Structure 1
Amino acid sequence: MTLPENIAGFIKAQNDLDSTAFANYFTVQATVSDEGSSYSGREEIKSWIQEATEKYNMQLTAINFTQTGSKAKLTVEVRGTFPGSPIVMNYHLEMDGSSIRSLKITD
């Protein structure tokens, strides 16, 4: 599977545990919804992913990616130090050009 450069970079930033690079794939006003909580803007997104990464040492492997217009769905296997690892999750993305405007993570 060939991923768009921005999505491949987003996954690489997560796997490199680089919360700054990860947050830079989002627009300035982006939102993330995960586990019943929402985060707005790059600083909140950076803090959220840094905390989650430190807690769970998450690594992503892309399973599938589809995109129609500005809407995309990335299915990933997530491994880490959390109960039930690994799990498959769906990342529902809304894109703004090559940046992510919103991300909703579901099972």
Structure 2
Amino acid sequence: MTTDWDALPDTVKTFITALDARADDRALATFTPDAVVTDEGRDHTGRDEIKSWLATSVSEYTYTSEFTGATRTATTVDVGQQLKGNFPGGVADLHYRFALDGALISRLVIEP
């Protein structure tokens, strides 16, 4: 089912806005203690590794992001984001695929 920004789960909106604001602690608070984030083909497991990933990923490049749409299933939320910045290529269309455990994120996969 296609979903607009306002219909996304609060946890997903909080994570994305915190990521964009470089608010690492607020973003980290949206994950379960044993959550897994996969970004650039690498897994970051648990809050300590996710905290390190957040600190590195948001400081490596300067970019802006734009919500391009979302879909939901019974178990996942797939959010499209277009990033523009000073990284190789300058523009990237990414999918943030979330699995939720209650109100928290248990799994996030970021890929084209």
Task: Note if 1:28 corresponds to 2:33.
Answer: yes
For normalisation by structure 1, the TM-score amounts to: 0.89
Mapping of residues 28-107 of structure 1, within 5 Å: 28-107=33-112
Supply the RMSD in Å over aligned alpha carbons: 1.4
Unaligned 5+ runs, structure 1: none
Shift of 1:88: 0.6
For normalisation by structure 2, the TM-score amounts to: 0.86
Aligned to 2:54, the other structure's residue is in SS state helix
Identify if the C-alpha distance between structure 1 residues 59 and 96 changes in structure 2 by more than 3 Å, giving closer, same or farther: farther
Distance 2:27 2:12 in 1: 10
Unaligned 5+ runs, structure 2: none
Residue deviations 1:77-107 (CA, integer Å, cap 9, x gap): 1223201122110111111122111011111
- Work out the number of aligned pairs and report it: 107
